[in-house]
Amino acid sequence: MDELIDIVDENGNYTGKTCLKSEAHKHGYFHPTIHVWLYTSNKQILLQKRALTKKVFPGLWDISVAGHIAAGENIKIAAIREVKEEIGFDILPKNLHKIGTRKHMVNHSNGIIDNEFHHVFIAELTVPVQELKLQEEEVADLKLFSLETILHTKNYENLLLHQYQDYYSFVHSQILKKLSIL
C-alpha cells in the first residue's frame, strides 16, 4: 500500500516535507520506519516470514514486525499500529521499549532505494503464537526461534540478512538485558 510519509535528512531530522512511500523508494529519500522485535520470557524471538508478494526480500524470515511511519504519526504509536496490523497483537505503550535508531541504506536490484532510519523497539510477546492474526499481504507465517538464532544467521538459509549481524547482536544483548531485570 502506498502511503504518505515524512522525509528526513541524512541525519534523521524531519524536513517538513512529505511524499508517497513509492516516491521515497524511487528517489532514495530518507524516511523513518519502525522495527519491533518481540521476545518471550523463555528466551525465544518471534520472526515473521515475509509474504511472497513483497517487493523486497519475499519469503525471508525477518524482524517480528517492521513498517513505515505515516506522515505526522508519533513513532511509538506507529510501532503499536504496525504490530496490531501485521500480527494482531496489542501492545500497551508502557510495554514497548525503544533501544535505538539505526541508519539503513540499501539499493535493491528491483530499483527500490531504501534510505531509512529504523526506530528499533523490543517488547515481550505475552500471548501464544497461535492467537496472532496474520496480515496476509505482509506476513506469510510466524514462528518462535531460540533467541540465540539471531546471533548465528549464517547457519540458516533465508533467515534474516547476514550482513546485519552487528545489529542482531545488539538486539540480542538488549533483550537479554531486559529479561534480566524482569
Strand pairing category for 44-50 and 31-39: antiparallel
The count of domains in the chain is 1
Give the DSSP letter string of 78-125. HHHHHHHHHH-----GGG-EEEEEEEEEEE-TTS-EEEEEEEEEEEE-
Q: Which domain holds residue 158?
A: 4-181
State the cell numbers at 159: 533467515
Model confidence at 154, pLDDT cuts 50, 70, 90, reads confident
Predicted TM-score (pTM) of this structure: 0.96
State how far the Cα of 107 lies from the Cα of 162, in Å rounded to an integer.
Answer: 16
Inform me whether the pLDDT recorded for 28 exceeds 70: yes
- pLDDT tier for residue 182 given thresholds of 50, 70 and 90: low
pLDDT at 181 over 80: no
The Cβ-side half-sphere exposure at 5, using a 13 Å CA radius, reads 25
CATH code of the domain containing 161:
3.90.79.10
Q: From CA 25, how far away is CA 43, in angstroms rounded?
A: 35
Residue 54 has pLDDT above 70, yes or no: yes
The span from the CA of 65 to the CA of 60, in Å, is 13
Beta bridge mates, 159: 61
Cell triple for 171: 538486539
> Please, what is the average pLDDT of the chain?
96
Please tell me the predicted confidence (pLDDT) of residue 3: 94
Task: Name which of 43-47, 120-124, 160-164 the model is least confident about.
Answer: 160-164
In this predicted structure, what is the pLDDT of residue 155?
86
CA distances, 14 to each of 11, 27, 29, 112, 181 (Å) = 9, 17, 12, 21, 34
The pLDDT of 3-18, averaged and rounded, is 97
Q: Is the pLDDT of residue 118 over 90?
A: yes
